[in-house]
Structure 1
Amino acid sequence: MSERRRGPGLGVLLLCYEVASIGFSQIPPVTLIAVVGQALLYSGYISVPWDRWDVCVSAENILNGKEYSRLFLSAVEHGSDMHLYYNMISFISKARGLEQDMFGSCNFAVFLLLMTLLCSVTYVALSAILFRVLHDYAYMKTCAIGFSGVVFALKALTTKREDAVNPGGRLREIDGSLNLPFQNTVWSELILIYFLVPGSSFVGHLAGILAGMAYIHTPVGDLVDHIIAMVTGERLYRWSYLMGYT
């Protein structure tokens, strides 16, 4: 096991600046705890008995090695301080509204745990399928860390909400030149990040989108909501939110 470097890097310092600019009081508690916790973990201020790459997730170490703890631990580790920075900034922009307007803090905490598991399981399943179809064992061995999958799952939820509130609307310019319909932004970001960010996990990001879509459109969402209600005692009405109602 390699030693974890202690101390914040540039990305962590930039993240601190951005959080302070938003205002700690403007970020709901579970979202803030998730961001601060991952920053402290990356910086080495939370002591754990593993190095970040010791807990990366792959189809090989889950299906063959049965190392199921990686399904959770891999999501909260990051490969670099800038990887952490971009993930957390994107997470804050999506999680704030979801925690405040759709879930509530207790429900959102349980939802994040379940979505992390769902994203990791989807990643493992996609990797195994790609191996079977393309006969390339590299897909089984490719190991990923980071919160990107969960961020993309949340992006699927927020995009669904935006499209419901403004049907047929178009969302933000990308590089100042391209306007995209709400419903296409999550897929466009998947493609853009793949080409513009070398080393990013296309399969991991795709797994996050598919996990988000499964929560929105399939009985998986009913199961997740049922588990959340069992844990917290609070019911969820996700379609009321996702279809644009307050």
Structure 2
Amino acid sequence: MLYRQMMRNRQRGSNLGLLLLASQVFQLGIDNIPPVTLATLGLNVYLFLFPVKPLLQTCLSVREAYWYGDWARLLLSPFHHVDDMHLYFNMASLLWKGIKLERKLGGAWFAYLLSVFSLLTGLVYLLLETGLARMTEDSSYSLQCAVGFSGVLFGLKVVNNHYHPGGATYVMGLAIANRYSCWVELVLIHVMNPGTSFVGHLAGILVGLLYTKGPLKRLMKTCAGFVTSNGHHGGQQTYYNSSGYSGYGMPNPPNAHSGQQSFNRRQYGAPYGDPYDTHMPSAPSQHPYTAGLSDEEQYQAAVRASLSDRGDSAQARSSHATYSHSNPTPEEIRWRRLQRFTS
């Protein structure tokens, strides 16, 4: 019965939702959609057109996942949809939330967040349904099957409200503070469309709260740090700021000193962990001792360091004598120092 209802829904809206979604994507402009958001949208559309399995074999329930051990549903259920309108509303919501969050968190961390939320929302859903079945002694809770990306979207809504506090959302003409909007929408969606999964949406909200108020964010940082610390040292490393991962840079050389790195960040006013660390000027990081010296002293120090790095001791002695006894003017000092750092 459920399968026939799903098939009727899919056939009834065979094109409208996809056309609306395509129209919205082109109105935004593909170039304006961050890559992870665009890839996630593409994956959902692809699996709607070419599903891995029929819907009854991808939806998530306690009976199928826990009793029968079909844990693959945890991965499949968020990315399959009942019909094209179901797909359209979820993907339209993903576009709005994804654009804001991916720009805030960075692509790598946003992809990590989506992966964790997709999996964890399903696990919390199973726990809630199991708890309800035991408290009410009603086994029907173990049979309820959920499918779709909306649970993850409720979690993203909580995270988005956390990173963009304030403001209000208008629900049925009423202004609702963003911090409470997810709870109002949870109730209204279930009242206006009883076929939606109330528990699935609630699971997404709880996962979002675990990230913003609970230990999930710290746990994710710890896991990400453990993976990168055990990875290859020759590749790129990702810098993490308070909002997530963004920016890439090569790892420091083995003999780099943390004191020198801290000095450079303080000197240029960049906060620790700032994603734009990779765009700092390179010369002062090689000559941290120039701060507080006069123009001539800075120039002398730069010359000595340059000649020392080249390992040409004879040339170093000759150049040092030349610059020590020529007594150049301040204008010549500034010009020579400019030549040194631009060569």
2:97 is matched with which residue? 94
User: In terms of Rg, which structure is larger?
Assistant: 2
Q: How do 1:221-236 residues align onto structure 2 when only pairs under 5 Å count?
A: 221-231=217-227, 233-234=237-238, 235-236=240-241
1:216 and 2:241 are equivalent in the alignment: no
- Contact 2:14–2:83, Cα closer than 8 Å, also in 1: no
- Using CA pairs below 8 Å that are at least 6 residues apart, which structure has the higher relative contact order? 1
Structure-1 separation of matches of 2:130 and 2:195: 20
Structure-2 separation of matches of 1:199 and 1:161: 31
Q: Residue 30 of structure 1: CA displacement?
A: 0.7
Opposite residue 21 of structure 2, the aligned amino acid is L
Q: How do 1:90-239 residues align onto structure 2 when only pairs under 5 Å count?
A: 90-102=93-105, 104-163=106-165, 166=166, 170-176=167-173, 178-231=174-227, 233-234=237-238, 235-238=240-243
| TM-score normalized with structure 2 length | 0.62
Question: Of the candidates 53, 56, 60, which is equivalent to residue 57 of structure 1?
Answer: 60
Q: How do 1:27-46 residues align onto structure 2 when only pairs under 5 Å count?
A: 27-44=33-50
- Contact 1:110–1:228, Cα closer than 8 Å, also in 2: no
- Contact 1:194–1:201, Cα closer than 8 Å, also in 2: yes
Q: Residue 208 of structure 1: CA displacement?
A: 0.2
Structure-1 separation of matches of 2:215 and 2:135: 27
Opposite residue 56 of structure 1, the aligned amino acid is C
Structure-1 separation of matches of 2:95 and 2:209: 20
- Contact 2:169–2:181, Cα closer than 8 Å, also in 1: no
Deviations 1:146-185 (A, max 9, x none): 001100000001112232xx3xxx4132222x11122111
Structure-2 separation of matches of 1:213 and 1:198: 24
Closer, same or farther in 2 for the Cα pair 1:140/1:15, shift >3 Å? same
Q: Residue 229 of structure 1: CA displacement?
A: 4.2
Closer, same or farther in 2 for the Cα pair 1:43/1:96, shift >3 Å? same
Opposite residue 154 of structure 1, the aligned amino acid is L
Query: What stretches of structure 2 of length at least 5 have no aligned partner?
Result: 229-236, 245-274, 276-343
Closer, same or farther in 2 for the Cα pair 1:32/1:136, shift >3 Å? same
- Contact 2:58–2:73, Cα closer than 8 Å, also in 1: yes
- Contact 1:59–1:127, Cα closer than 8 Å, also in 2: yes
- Contact 1:56–1:143, Cα closer than 8 Å, also in 2: yes
1:22 is matched with which residue? 28
| Equivalent residue pairs, number | 229
Deviations 1:1-47 (A, max 9, x none): 99x98996211111111111111011100100111121121122xx6
| TM-score normalized with structure 1 length | 0.86
- Contact 2:60–2:73, Cα closer than 8 Å, also in 1: yes
- Contact 1:122–1:207, Cα closer than 8 Å, also in 2: yes
Structure-1 separation of matches of 2:102 and 2:169: 23
Structure-1 separation of matches of 2:118 and 2:221: 15
Structure-2 separation of matches of 1:229 and 1:98: 21
- Contact 2:211–2:217, Cα closer than 8 Å, also in 1: yes
- Contact 1:119–1:211, Cα closer than 8 Å, also in 2: yes
3-state SS in 2 of match to 1:100: helix
Q: Residue 231 of structure 1: CA displacement?
A: 4.9
3-state SS in 1 of match to 2:194: coil
3-state SS in 2 of match to 1:35: helix
Structure-2 separation of matches of 1:63 and 1:113: 21
